Each structure stands twice: as C-alpha cells, then as structure tokens.
Structure 1
Amino acid sequence: MQSSLVRACSAQPASAGFSSPAWLVTPGITPARFDTAIGSGAQIVLLGLEDSVPAEAKADARAAVLAFAGARTQAAGGPLLGVRINSVDGAEGLRDVAAMAEGSLWPDLVVVPKAESGCVIEAVVRAVRKAHAATQVWALIESPQGIVGLPGIVRTPGLAGVLFGAADYAAASGCRITSRAMWYPRSQLVTAAAAAGIPAVDSPYFSLDDQDGLRREALEAVELGFAGKVAVHPNQLLVIAQAFAPSPRELESARAVLAAAAGAGGGVTRAGGAMVGPPLVEAALAVVRRAGHSPALTTAPAPKASR
C-alpha cells in the first residue's frame, strides 16, 4: 500500500497531464510545408496566421490553414494541430475566428497572440463554446503589459495554457533576447501558470545552427518549470524532446525517493543522503510523469542543424 506521504502528493495539478513538450511553428503562408510539419515528430504543430503572414496574403493563408485544419479533423492519429490567429483586437483576428465558426473548421488549439488581458481570451472561448467545439484556447504572452496582466489572464475561464514570445517581448521592452534578460518574464509566466494550474510553454530558440545553445535554453526551461518549448525548425525538435525527458539518473533518484516515502509509514524519511518530505515526493512524482510522457524520438541521436 502507498504511504500517506506518497498519497498526499499524488493528486496531480491541472497541468500535470500535459504531455506535449515539443511544438513546431510553421507559417500559414506555406501550405506545402504543412504535411512535412505533421510528420516531423512534433507533438503539436502550430500554423501561424499572424506575424509570419503579410497583410496582402492574410485571406489566402486563412483559407489554406482552415482547409487543412478541417481535413485534419477527419484524420486519426498524429500530432495536435493548432492555429495562431491574428490579434482579436484587430479585424484580421475577428475574421479568423469568424471563418472557423462559419465553416466549423476548428483546430485542436487556437493560440491568441499579444494577450494582455483576459477579455481577448474570453471572446475566443465564447466562440469555441458557442460552436460546441473541443478546441483548446491558449494565450501567447509577448509584451511587458502581458506579463503585468498575467494574474487576470491565467484565471480566465476556459484558458488551457500560456506560451511565451521572447522576440516581441524583447522588442517591446528594449532588452536583448538572452537567457539573462528573459529570466524575469519567463519566471513570472511559469509562476502565474502554476498558480492557475495550467501549463506554460517556452518561446522558440531562434539560432538554427546552435544546437548547444538550444539544449542549454531547453534545459533551463525545464528548470524553470515550463511544460514544453516551441521549435521553429524540425531539426530543433529532438533536442527539445531530449531536454524535457528526465535522464536515467534523475529517474533513478526519483524512484528512490518514492520507494523511501512508501516505506516511511507517513513520516518524513531520507533517501540518498537527503531528507524526504512532501515537496521532494511531489517533485519525484513529476519526474516519473515526465518519463511516462517522453516521446519515442528521445532514443535517437540528435540531428545536426541545417541552414
């Protein structure tokens, strides 16, 4: 039987079931790449209608993305398909949501960019619920105003998770896109998401030829508490997946903690020279859950980045 110490930590937070650490973003203006993205090994493929699509191509990109989303709805298996719509504070975002509703072409996820308050999220959630769609609504936080507004954003009913956009945040705040410069907003995002019981996903790493830098940043995202990280190229996916999968040593230590706690009869005990109480048991359970969610591609060698 489980000890009370283990049972006390076994209730999973709302974000514990999230099992999609590797996301891949693809511009909605390049429909020839959609199938390639689906077969890339990403757990979530995100087609973009916002910054990556020029104004004169918005209508064509919207039609291509939603047609693909409609076809994917009828397909079984494969990754989840998300769509990053335009800001719903503007006409293009409203057209995106209206086209989804009118054609019943709802993807698995809708990502709302430049979220700075719960109001914009509520509008999209209402549209999804009115259509009785199973679509998740995520918020993309990419400005200082969004970071300041996090307490209200993450508590919006129907919000499934949040993503961080480092490039827009850096442009708006006047800082560089470096690890040190992003510590504060990333920590704020993870903390707010954890308090609301929803997952947070880290920003992309933009240097395509720097696999070591990607690995360092992905491991840092794990340390901070992010549930996943976005890739901008398929060659980044394996590094991200490997970073979010616990190492054999981590898994061994976690299992030792759980075994010690199970035999403690409900009291604080020790394992591997460390005291074991509820916080360490909860952390060990999180490691075991991460191992159970690790994709198969974590067993393959990391590919070299290509230009």
Structure 2
Amino acid sequence: MTTARLAPRTALFLPASNPRAVAKARGLDTDMIILDLEDAVRDDAKAEARAAAVAAMAEGFGERLTAIRINGVESREHAADLAAAAVAKCDFIVVPKVEDAGNAAAIAEAIGKPLLAMIETPRGVLEAVRIAAVPGVGGLLAGANDLRAALGIPTGREGLTLSLQAIVLAARAHDIWALDGVFNALDDAEGLAAECRHGRALGFDGKSLIHPNQIQVATQAFGPSEAELADAHALVAAATGGAERFEGRMIEAMHVAQARALIERQGL
C-alpha cells in the first residue's frame, strides 16, 4: 500500500486545538504533519479540536503528507473521531495503542484511509506482525514513552531495543513503514541526534517529533549523507549485473537496489 510513496523522515505531532501551531506548520520543512486529537488535547477541547482538524486538512498543507491522530477505541471520543476522520482530507489516520489486528481492520474499513498503527504496549509489540498484516495498515509507529512505562524501564533506550526491533521486523515483513517514537527533551539536540542514529540503525524509516526545532536534526539523521549519496551513485554507475567487486567489497543486485532507494530518498 505505501511502497509507492517514500516513508517520511520526520512526522511532526501538533495539537489540533492550537490554531497558531497549525498555521505555522504550513511553513515547516517536515515530511508529515500529524494533527493530534488524543494526548495533546484537553478533554474539554476535544470537540473543538476535531472540527479544527477537519478544517485544517481541508485547507491543506502543501505537498506534505498529512494525518490525524484519533482517540483510541476505549475513549468516548472514538466514534466521533472516526466520523470526522472519514471525511477529513488527510492521507493517513494515526490510531493509538493498537493491540488487536481485528480492531485495526475495523477502523480501516470504517474510515477508508490507511492507518498508522501506534505500538505502545507489550501486547501491541507481541501482536505487531498480525497488525502489520492488515491490508488497511500502512505503517507502524513506535510509542516509546508508553512502552517504557509499561515495561517498567526508568530511562534510556537500552531496555526498549527488543521491542523497537520487533516493530521494525513486523513492518518489514509486510512492506509497510516503520516510524520511531518521539524524543521528549526539547533542548537536547545531541541527545535527539543520538536517538535518531539509534533508530536508523534499527531500521526505522523516520522519526515522530513533538517540536519544530527537532525537524532539522531528524531530517539529517534519516536522510542520506553526502558520503552515502556519492557511494550510492558510484555503485549504481559501476554495476554491470551479477556479483562483482566494487571498491574493495562484493556487490550484487540487492546492493544496487539499496543504492537506488537511497538516491530516491534524497528527493523527499
């Protein structure tokens, strides 16, 4: 479903209830805008945020991918969010705390848009392969904060590695996107860069963000470097088919395909 479009390097969450932030987002250099109806919105502002999200999507965000994060199946706002999401002019719907493939399938059918399923619980991790297999699911999005809390991990990423890798494996098994979770420290660019490098090393396509000042760091981390691009162009130019030697290493068709994908990603 999503292979025809490159996965976003950056996916910025914004409260749908904040019109100033939403308006500013139209000038930000992020690959995806996610208007949030869930955690970022107070209970007494849910209805207002829902209407604002639909209106904002109707106005559009240029060439950027767009999504709305709805409230989960256990929320009293869920049914109203589904109805709004079905008519909203957005590309994706983000569904929090997905733990069951059947629920994901029902939501996708009701909305008629591809889902980004958030994997935020131990059960969600264990069910990730089945969730990723649902035809209406276009990607998995790691919910690192909730996972950390549920697993009793106080800080850091070390204890999350198995869960994060399982999310990537599930996504790759079904050829859908895998997006890393948010980084909470807004003024720690070095920490963000390190976490992005870790996420890319695990195989994530991009990172979800919570502040505009995180965009540049994440874009650089999940996009190809100049050295990577130069190597990719040289490899594609040198390849003649079959297994062969290239700059001291053996390459074959798989490596050529990887190089071409890297070059294509530069165009995001």
Amino acid corresponding to residue 187 of structure 1 in structure 2: Q
**Shift in Å, 1:19:** 4.3
**Percent same amino acid among aligned pairs?**
37
Q: Is the 8 A contact 2:83 2:111 kept in 1?
A: no
- Aligned residue number for residue 29 of structure 1: 17
- Aligned residue number for residue 108 of structure 2: 125
Q: Equivalent residue of 2:239, what SS? A: helix
**Shift in Å, 1:84:** 0.5
- Alignment of 1:160 with 2:148, yes or no, is no
- Aligned residue number for residue 221 of structure 1: 199
Match of 2:262 among 284, 287, 305: 287
What CA distance in whole angstroms lies between the structure 1 residues aligned with 2:57 and 2:2? Answer: 27
- Aligned residue number for residue 204 of structure 1: 182
- Aligned residue number for residue 301 of structure 1: none
**Shift in Å, 1:221:** 1.8
What CA distance in whole angstroms lies between the structure 2 residues aligned with 1:239 and 1:122? Answer: 35
- Alignment of 1:45 with 2:20, yes or no, is no
What CA distance in whole angstroms lies between the structure 2 residues aligned with 1:136 and 1:50? Answer: 18
Match of 1:114 among 85, 94, 97: 97
The Cα offsets for residues 198-249 of structure 1, whole Å up to 9 and x where unpaired, read as: 0111111111111111111112222222111111111110111111221121
What CA distance in whole angstroms lies between the structure 2 residues aligned with 1:152 and 1:94? Answer: 24
- 1:1-307 pair list within 5 angstroms: 15=3, 17-72=5-60, 77-101=62-86, 104-129=87-112, 135-262=113-240, 266-293=241-268
How much is the aligned-residue C-alpha RMSD, in angstroms? Answer: 2.0
Q: Is the 8 A contact 2:6 2:265 kept in 1?
A: no
The runs of at least 4 aligned residues of structure 1 exceeding 3 Å deviation read: 13-17
Q: Is the 8 A contact 2:121 2:146 kept in 1?
A: yes
Q: Gapped runs of 5+ residues in structure 1?
A: 1-12, 130-134, 294-307
Q: Gapped runs of 5+ residues in structure 2?
A: none
Structure number with larger C-alpha Rg: 1
Stretch moving more, 229-238 or 61-70: 61-70
What CA distance in whole angstroms lies between the structure 2 residues aligned with 1:36 and 1:268? Answer: 50
- Aligned residue number for residue 298 of structure 1: none
By relative contact order (CA 8 Å, sep 6+), the higher-ranking structure is 1
The Cα offsets for residues 76-102 of structure 1, whole Å up to 9 and x where unpaired, read as: x2422211000023321122112344x
What CA distance in whole angstroms lies between the structure 2 residues aligned with 1:290 and 1:106? Answer: 25
